[in-house]
Structure 1
């Protein structure tokens, strides 16, 4: 593809590609610091995007830091004040740990959420342009120096900037252009993801975020705005032969049928709209910073939606990227040091929840130690609070599986599941192997050192496609 002649060349401090969660958080933070920011998005805004959009208290705290929480709450999603998880017949309920005074969760559909975030960036002083597709990254030697793009009228423009931020999702145009598209760590998910909205029943418990597990299936019900409830299922992944026309409808309805308590929660509800699907998912870390460029959000790091961490991390690392880079934006050498430190910080802070997410995303039948964990947490409020806190990042997974607690779980599992003692012992041995493998990965691949990326070209690289946007859980 050959671009038409450039009709305009602009200069700004920061150009952000992608105007959704990570992009708007980055833009708003830079703009409030007095920096000139232009945001480009290929989509018409506001618009929907593939996302399961549950926000734990930590995610809502990020909206509060951006001064966007009040506007998001005005969209009408209920406050979810209780978490409930059920497996093997054991139900675990708890409140949410408080983050910056917020002790509730919310499930907010992306069209409204993203519109609020883009408006927040504009109100902070950023310029947001929709239907502008980036076609090339511009270079000054080996340094990223801007982008070339096509606007809605088909005109080609160039924006020169001290920093190019790729907040354009898993299929990131910017990641591809700077040679960072291939992750340095990838873990395929063992689950597919299907979700749909339902018109909630009048007597539904709209203050509870609920999850059910039966066998290898997992399903959720999260009340959201406009009187709807988002119901997601994650059955074990299937080969391509199990997909094709009608597969999403079939797999979604079959999974709900295998989750009787989810089916009961949806009784009296009317499904609204089509079933959405995300298959072939992998969690990953990409190289996320280099000379003049950075990748917050899914463009640089993605976790399976089973733990619903994507929006929080997009907001958090978009904001902290801007906070890290603002004061050194005019000094290329200092900027590169700051970007590298920001990248290392994200790896270090996210690696434990990355491992935890990958465990839950295996798509396996409930293991003996998992069953015992649910059995114990059903009668232990402190354990239930720790579990809820892991999802909101106020507790670490290591607090759940301390050596003494893991030993106790194994002992109780042996007593309660005596008939399956070989399976209990095999599960305990596997747990030891898993912990060892995660430790090795943490000390090697995820130790926080930058992974080398492919050297960028010395001339502008023209691309024919742009990423379709962010997919967050």
Structure 2
């Protein structure tokens, strides 16, 4: 029996917070879109749950914000950042007005289902429970996907299928600016929390980091993040170690007093930060499929939503012909890397293993005493300000001088912190220069990710050579 062949303008693999928004945006512009995901919805996935105001604004433009609020998502109007004895507390009411939206903390079981519905309502063909087995193409260009049902032909295939992206594996998208993991992330939901203050809490105390916030359906999400060196022992006794971790921050322990945990402890213990080549002939990678950073500053959902909006513009402008779409995808890739580069390393530093160093703590103290600086910190998290525009050499120099003057006993630890920071910065600059030197707008680079019926499997193994997408500009 012959399998059917169907034709679309765009095939999107992955229907969560990157793929579904893109599908909705493209379908509303009159494109024929097929959205596929091996999962069925509602279903969970690993996530920090937090959506920055820039991401919430994208949800409003998409038309799903009211549904999220109706599901019990709490607008976050207060913010706390703790590093040892340094503390920033901020009221976000004014910032929410300035940003055009508040931050939110939403379970993915809620968010993703609403996004899938939005894609279907916009006119996209949504197929859940349908896995992509392979890609099809001709003359070096991806031209569709294969599933158990048959072949879907499309001049553009977008992989929005997360860190373990099938599409990224099949096209052989290389990684660069790789950042090693510092921590594992463990979280759970609680009901009966008496303190329903709409406050997002981020903390680093000793060797533990924390993330906590009210979320939808009347639940509270609390996360404990030990250094990765403790992975084996934490996983062996996760119930006990998680409970101990919550007690380590007295403020969070007080918030959860009398509350009851709902469900199991979720853990993300295996990950690393990276950029992947974001585009090639007939394909693109969106969201975590193309870039993943340390989850500590809670950027992933917002990044996916903003990237989807930009990619929708590029696709609409470029689908008139192969050369046009290649050029549009190259520009979008360049924007993505420039947009994410500094935040990528800022996230890696913020989520580093171990206790925060004396310079880190002093910088937080200085920010806490400067109202404008606290607002700038929130603007950094909202992608309105680059980290380097807040953590300037002058600000870091003042913090260094204060640490030496006020706490001379910490000078040996401070020296170690500085040596590590300098080594990291020099390595990052060398890597960035190397990427810039290798950038090319010619997306196929003379290589063929697929020829005819591609010799590719879901594992990414192939009979021929790996494709070599171009290097980006950062």
- The answer, yes or no, to whether TM exceeds 0.5 is yes
Alignment-derived partner of residue 168 in structure 2:
175
User: Shift of residue 406 of structure 1?
Assistant: 1.1
Structure 2 residue corresponding to 1:119, chosen from 117, 123, 142: 117
The alignment's TM-score, normalised by the length of structure 1, stands at 0.90
Spell out the pairing of 1:23-172 with structure 2 (5 A cutoff).
23-96=19-92, 97-98=95-96, 101-150=99-148, 156-172=149-165
C-alpha separation in 1, matches of 2:436 and 2:18: 22
C-alpha separation in 2, matches of 1:308 and 1:340: 27
Alignment-derived partner of residue 468 in structure 2:
none
C-alpha separation in 2, matches of 1:104 and 1:242: 38
Change (3 A) 1:295 1:100: farther
Alignment-derived partner of residue 377 in structure 1:
367
1:320 aligns with 2:316: no
Alignment-derived partner of residue 248 in structure 1:
238
C-alpha separation in 1, matches of 2:165 and 2:458: 12
C-alpha separation in 1, matches of 2:290 and 2:207: 29
User: Shift of residue 378 of structure 1?
Assistant: 2.4
User: Shift of residue 370 of structure 1?
Assistant: 1.1
Spell out the pairing of 1:370-409 with structure 2 (5 A cutoff).
370-409=360-399
Q: Secondary structure at the match of 1:148?
A: strand
Change (3 A) 1:431 1:48: closer
Change (3 A) 1:462 1:117: same
Spell out the pairing of 1:288-303 with structure 2 (5 A cutoff).
288-303=278-293
Question: Structure 1 residues 448-457 or 34-43, which shifts more?
Answer: 448-457
Deviations 1:102-140 (A, max 9, x none): 352110111211111111112222111111111110011
Q: Secondary structure at the match of 1:50?
A: coil
C-alpha separation in 2, matches of 1:431 and 1:136: 43
The alignment's TM-score, normalised by the length of structure 2, stands at 0.90
User: Shift of residue 72 of structure 1?
Assistant: 1.8
Alignment-derived partner of residue 328 in structure 2:
338
C-alpha separation in 1, matches of 2:271 and 2:197: 30
Structure 2 residue corresponding to 1:273, chosen from 263, 268, 271: 263
Alignment-derived partner of residue 190 in structure 1:
182
Alignment-derived partner of residue 470 in structure 2:
none
Change (3 A) 1:185 1:437: closer
Change (3 A) 1:234 1:445: farther
User: Shift of residue 304 of structure 1?
Assistant: 1.5
Alignment-derived partner of residue 470 in structure 1:
none
Spell out the pairing of 1:204-215 with structure 2 (5 A cutoff).
204-215=195-206
1:222 aligns with 2:222: no
Q: Which runs of 5+ in 2 are unaligned?
A: 461-474
Alignment-derived partner of residue 463 in structure 2:
none
User: Shift of residue 326 of structure 1?
Assistant: 1.1
Change (3 A) 1:165 1:358: same
Question: Structure 1 residues 387-396 or 252-261, which shifts more?
Answer: 252-261
C-alpha separation in 2, matches of 1:306 and 1:163: 33
User: Shift of residue 243 of structure 1?
Assistant: 6.0
User: Shift of residue 239 of structure 1?
Assistant: 6.5
Residues 24 and 121 in structure 1, CA contact (< 8 A), matched pair in contact too: yes
User: Shift of residue 448 of structure 1?
Assistant: 9.0
Alignment-derived partner of residue 153 in structure 1:
none
Residues 162 and 330 in structure 1, CA contact (< 8 A), matched pair in contact too: no
Q: Secondary structure at the match of 1:94?
A: strand
1:439 aligns with 2:432: no
Q: Which runs of 5+ in 1 are unaligned?
A: 151-155, 467-473
Greater relative contact order (Cα 8 A, min sep 6): structure 1 or 2?
A: 1
C-alpha separation in 2, matches of 1:123 and 1:230: 30
RMSD, matched Cα: 2.2
Q: Secondary structure at the match of 2:151?
A: strand
Change (3 A) 1:378 1:240: closer
C-alpha separation in 1, matches of 2:82 and 2:135: 48
User: Shift of residue 23 of structure 1?
Assistant: 0.4
1:366 aligns with 2:326: no
Deviations 1:307-349 (A, max 9, x none): 1111011111122112112132130011111111111110111
